[in-house]
Structure 1
């Protein structure tokens, strides 16, 4: 996962290798995994995902940090990743796949609608430390 810091920087330009490693060391023991798409050894798509249980969904997968390199968009890379997550969720007996997309990211909204996702509510956030954000 650390080898893909360059791809992760497409989403979080200011993340350092040290911070990324620190976060991964906390996340991986809590079921965080990644799936990536490579073209000639170069990572062109990457997403993290978590498997967990909530009362309203039962077992589910949450997609986190979905990235397709801008030069490789509209080429099926994102669909390959969502198809993989879909198959993984079904194989693991999940009832749902969930994700967050920022309210102004209309390109992502259109992509997720086309993949069968739909909004079911609002994800409310109370920021306690803006400077702590990646």
Structure 2
């Protein structure tokens, strides 16, 4: 797992056979002491093979080291796979953004 930092945002990537197959970007919310996952992506053919858990474990480790009160992330309301993944990892649904949803 590689790491880069730029302006307070950390980037972590997982490589398999020299190819990046997953990454996430993290940033601290100093006003609310939360670690924020800005981006989280694992290539489809590498999902459910431990890459996603490896990345999230790194976020949990950093949150613990920084004594954060929470880790925050987001997923589109129709991204059921991501929502279920986060729930299985111990995340709680904290809200639903209804902006942009049309009523037909």
Q: Tell me the TM-score normalized by structure 1.
A: 0.66
Is 2:22 the partner of 1:45? yes
Greater per-residue helix proportion: 1
* Residues paired across the two proteins, number: 95
Q: How big is the alpha-carbon RMSD for the aligned residues of Structure 1 and Structure 2?
A: 1.5
- Whole-Å separation in 2 of the counterparts to 1:113 and 1:78: 13
Q: Structure 1: any 5+ residue segments left out of the alignment?
A: 1-27, 127-134
- In structure 1, the partner of 2:51 is 77
Tell me which residue corresponds to 2:71. Answer: 97
Alignment of 1:58-69 (within 5 A): 58-69=32-43
2:15 counterpart SS class = strand
Q: Return 5+ residue gaps in structure 2 as ranges.
A: 1-5
SS in 1 for 2:53: helix
Task: Measure how far apart 1:77 and its partner are.
Answer: 0.5
Q: Tell whether the 8 Å contact from 2:77 to 2:96 is kept in structure 1 after alignment.
A: no
Superposition TM-score, scaled by structure 2 size? 0.84
Q: CA deviation at 1:125?
A: 4.9
Q: Deviations over 1:81-131 (max 9, x none)?
A: 0000000010011110001100000010110001001111234658xxxxx
